[in-house]
């Protein structure tokens, strides 16, 4: 048998396959963790939600809407109360007012 047919794929093809595998695995992990959070977050307190969000959200500014995307079982009013509590207790920093409000974890 010709050894050329049995040779391993080129390095670039191996890299692409590994990247696809890693990407698929990360998508599965993300979907699973999102489902788990959606199932479990109805029992979380405001401080639980804030601390969980801080571990999920990595740096930069975020909006109330982005906060809400992680906790689909809470209302917009509850999200506002959470963020107000976190701001008043020095957990996050508030920048701007009304619809232009952004927050940043300290």
pLDDT (tens digit, 9 = 90+) per residue, 71-90? 888 999 999 999 999 999 99
Query: What pLDDT sits at residue 50?
Result: 94
Share of the chain above pLDDT 70, in %: 86
Cβ neighbors of 89 (< 8 A, separation 6 or more) are none
φ, ψ for residue 57 (rounded to 5)? -85, 125
Name the residue with higher pLDDT: 22 or 38: 22
Domain boundaries 44-106, corresponding CATH code: 1.10.10.10
Give, in order, the Cα–Cα distances in Å from 21 to each of 3, 14, 26, 52.
27, 11, 9, 28
Name the residue with higher pLDDT: 10 or 69: 69
* Domain ranges across the chain: 10-43, 44-106
0.75 surpassed by pTM: no
Query: What pLDDT sits at residue 68?
Result: 94
């Amino acid at each position: 048998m010709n050894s050329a047919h049995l040779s391993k794929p080129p390095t670039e093809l191996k890299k692409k396959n590994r990247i696809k595998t890693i990407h698929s695995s990360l998508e599965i992990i993300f979907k699973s963790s999102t489902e788990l959070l959606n199932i479990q977050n109805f029992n979380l307190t405001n401080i639980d939600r804030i601390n969980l969000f801080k571990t999920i959200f990595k740096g930069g500014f975020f909006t109330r809407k982005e906060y809400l995307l992680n906790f689909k079982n809470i209302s917009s009013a509850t999200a506002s109360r959470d963020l107000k509590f976190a701001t008043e207790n020095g957990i996050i920093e508030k920048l701007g007012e009304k619809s232009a409000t952004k927050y940043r974890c300290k």
